[in-house]
Structure 1
Amino acid sequence: MELHNVWFALIAVLWVGYFFLEGFDFGVGVLTKLLARDRAERRVLINTIGPVWDGNEVWLLTAGGATFAAFPDWYATLFSGFYLPLLLILVCLIVRGVAFEYRHKREEERWQANWEQAIFWTSLLPAFLWGVAFANIVRGVAIDADKEYVGGLLDLLNPYALLGGLVTLTLFTFHGAVFAALKTVGEIRVRARTLSLRLGAVAGVPAVAFLLWTQALRGDGASLVALAVAGTALLAAIAAIRAGREGWSFALSGVTIAAAVAMLFLALFPRVMPSTLDDAWSLTVTNASSSPYTLTIMTWLAVIATPVVLLYQGWTYWVFRKRIGTQHLADTH
């Protein structure tokens, strides 16, 4: 296999990892309004992701860096054409990180409430906008012969892309609810289970519609298999949470997200960014990639660094594996 194909696959794996991990902590952020009934329960939900949210974002940084190095033309066209939505995502991620760190710095109720509002909105907006962005990448955008995006912002707000945003928002929220059930004890755990069942049913309808639309738009046999895996895993995740098997449900909801993202990349290949103006102007793994020498150096660096990162992040999840509840909160904030 040629190195540019290898790096397309590796970038797909990085995005799968990012959406699997960041998906549930976006979902937990949204649930601070949907599930928590008071400040103590919001603290519990935030504490479930407190030790891991920043590590989850490493996957995004790595995916962006890998795209810049392996496919510079893809990176340039993507970040210039999608400048405003990606900038909004970046601002949300910055504010979200500040909110996690500053929420507990002062005891005033208004101070904490404002930061909790920030956590909710900066979790909801990126969860929606990532779906919009990836749906547009798969659908194709107006790229001219110079590999430049010549469309406008409103071109990105098409029905297919908006449906993609709804899918990521609902799937991430379902994923987060299952994670909350897995990581909490007491009444909040029971309510998280109940809410997971409802969210799973809500997420299933737009997810199936979007993936079928994607299959009709650009799909092949491999993407059809990924679609079947995503649908089956979602049904199994709902069945598992109904049976009280939160660990299995979390793994299966993660498989749903992973298979859905894999389907998008399978439908996209060998393109990395299709052109709606002329298919000959589409960016592909061949015409958008770096030199073989660059890709070779990147491959050796990835072989050395990736196991270290995976071991460290796995160790972090192991250390903070226990469930928590309101009874574990300190008396003072």
Structure 2
Amino acid sequence: MELHDVWFVLIAVLWIGYFFLEGFDFGIGVLTRLLARDRAEKRVLINTIGPVWDGNEVWLLSAGGATFAAFPEWYATLFSGFYLPLLLILVCLIVRGVAFEYRAKRPEESWQRNWESAIFWSSLIPAFLWGVAFGNIVRGVKIDRDMEYVGNLWDLLNPYAILGGLVTLTLFTFHGAVFAALKTLGDIRERARKLALQLGVVTAALALVFLGWTQADKGDSTSLVALIVAVIALVAAIGANQAGREGWAFALSGITIVAAVAMLFLTLFPNVMPSSLNGDWSLTVSNASSSPYTLKIMTWCAVIATPVVVVYQAWTYWVFRKRIGTQHIAEAVH
């Protein structure tokens, strides 16, 4: 295996980690409107991810930076062709971070309600658009012989990509509901479990169609294994949630995300961005990569830095492992 193949795998791992961790962040943001009944319950949901959401976004920064350094042609074509959707995702991530920090800065009802709406929409929109983006990457887009995207925004809004967006939206929301049941106490915990069941059924139906479509169009034996693991893990997560085993349900919903994203990368390799105009014009791990010397330096940096980041983030989750409920929410003081 050559270094550009190794870095394709590492970038896939970074995206898998991002969707596993940020997935339940997006889900919690959506649930602030679907699950929470009052302001105290919204504060409970937000507090479940309060200590970790910004650390989870490190995986996105790492994935973007690794793509820029390891596969500059992929990065350039992706960010020029998907400019508007990726810009909208970036704006949503900025607004969401500001909303988390500013929501409780003033006591006025309208102030807090507006920031809570911002949290909802800035979680829902990226959760949908990430699926649209990866659906288009796997499906293939209009790339010419100069490795440039020559399509338009409407080309990205095709049925396959939109279905992918619905899958990521429902899957992340299900993941968030399971996480909410794992991290909360009392009535909100029970309602999170009931909502997770409904979301799980919808997610299973959409994911089966999307992953089956992907397998039929571009899959092989390895991607089929990933598909089977994703489906089994999702069904098992729904069952564990119903049995009140929130820890198992969360682990299994995470495995669903890991297997589903892995399947997309397995169907993609050795391409990194297929051309729908001519297969010979596709960006691959070889023609889109940096020099071997650059990849070698990056590999040493990753070997040193990655364990530190993983250990620190694991420690953060251990420190903030306790459940919370409305009884832990103090009256706001301004």
Q: TM-score range by the shorter chain?
A: over 0.9
- TM-score, with normalisation over the residues of structure 1? 1.00
Residue number in structure 2 paired with 1:322: 322
Query: What fraction of aligned residue pairs are identical, expressed as a percent?
Result: 80
Residue number in structure 1 paired with 2:230: 230
> What one-letter code is carried by the residue in structure 2 that aligns with 1:45?
L
Would you say how many aligned residue pairs link Structure 1 and Structure 2? 333
Please tell me whether residue 106 in structure 1 is matched to residue 106 in structure 2: yes
The 5 Å alignment of 1:69-218 reads 69-218=69-218
Q: How many Å apart are 1:208 and its aligned residue?
A: 0.5
Unaligned runs of 5+ residues in structure 1 are: none
Q: How many Å apart are 1:330 and its aligned residue?
A: 1.1
> What one-letter code is carried by the residue in structure 2 that aligns with 1:34?
L
> What one-letter code is carried by the residue in structure 1 that aligns with 2:22?
E
Q: How many Å apart are 1:331 and its aligned residue?
A: 1.9
Residue number in structure 2 paired with 1:308: 308
> What one-letter code is carried by the residue in structure 2 that aligns with 1:219?
G
Residue number in structure 2 paired with 1:271: 271
Secondary structure in structure 2 of the residue aligned to 1:272: strand
The 5 Å alignment of 1:39-78 reads 39-78=39-78
Q: CA offsets, 1:241-273, max 9 Å, x none?
A: 010000000000000011000000000000000
> What one-letter code is carried by the residue in structure 1 that aligns with 2:105?
K
Secondary structure in structure 1 of the residue aligned to 2:67: helix
- TM-score, with normalisation over the residues of structure 2? 0.99
Residue number in structure 1 paired with 2:29: 29
* Cα root mean square deviation, aligned: 0.5
CA–CA separation in structure 1 for the residues paired with 2:301 and 2:331: 47
> What one-letter code is carried by the residue in structure 2 that aligns with 1:96?
R
CA–CA separation in structure 1 for the residues paired with 2:217 and 2:285: 20
CA–CA separation in structure 2 for the residues paired with 1:271 and 1:25: 30
Q: CA offsets, 1:87-127, max 9 Å, x none?
A: 00000000000000000111111100000000000000000
CA–CA separation in structure 2 for the residues paired with 1:271 and 1:218: 12
Residue number in structure 2 paired with 1:251: 251
CA–CA separation in structure 1 for the residues paired with 2:67 and 2:296: 15
Q: How many Å apart are 1:332 and its aligned residue?
A: 2.1
Residue number in structure 2 paired with 1:221: 221
Secondary structure in structure 2 of the residue aligned to 1:323: coil
CA–CA separation in structure 1 for the residues paired with 2:218 and 2:58: 30
CA–CA separation in structure 2 for the residues paired with 1:223 and 1:268: 10
CA–CA separation in structure 1 for the residues paired with 2:13 and 2:212: 22
Secondary structure in structure 2 of the residue aligned to 1:148: coil
CA–CA separation in structure 2 for the residues paired with 1:235 and 1:161: 24
CA–CA separation in structure 1 for the residues paired with 2:168 and 2:71: 25
CA–CA separation in structure 2 for the residues paired with 1:89 and 1:332: 31
Secondary structure in structure 1 of the residue aligned to 2:106: coil
CA–CA separation in structure 1 for the residues paired with 2:332 and 2:30: 25
The 5 Å alignment of 1:277-288 reads 277-288=277-288
CA–CA separation in structure 2 for the residues paired with 1:83 and 1:216: 29
CA–CA separation in structure 2 for the residues paired with 1:202 and 1:31: 16
Which stretches of structure 1, 4 residues or longer, exceed 6 Å deviation after superposition? none
Secondary structure in structure 1 of the residue aligned to 2:143: coil
CA–CA separation in structure 2 for the residues paired with 1:7 and 1:332: 47
Q: CA offsets, 1:138-169, max 9 Å, x none?
A: 00000000000000000000000000000000
CA–CA separation in structure 2 for the residues paired with 1:69 and 1:179: 34
CA–CA separation in structure 2 for the residues paired with 1:238 and 1:91: 33
CA–CA separation in structure 2 for the residues paired with 1:332 and 1:261: 41
Unaligned runs of 5+ residues in structure 2 are: none
CA–CA separation in structure 2 for the residues paired with 1:151 and 1:85: 14
Secondary structure in structure 2 of the residue aligned to 1:275: coil
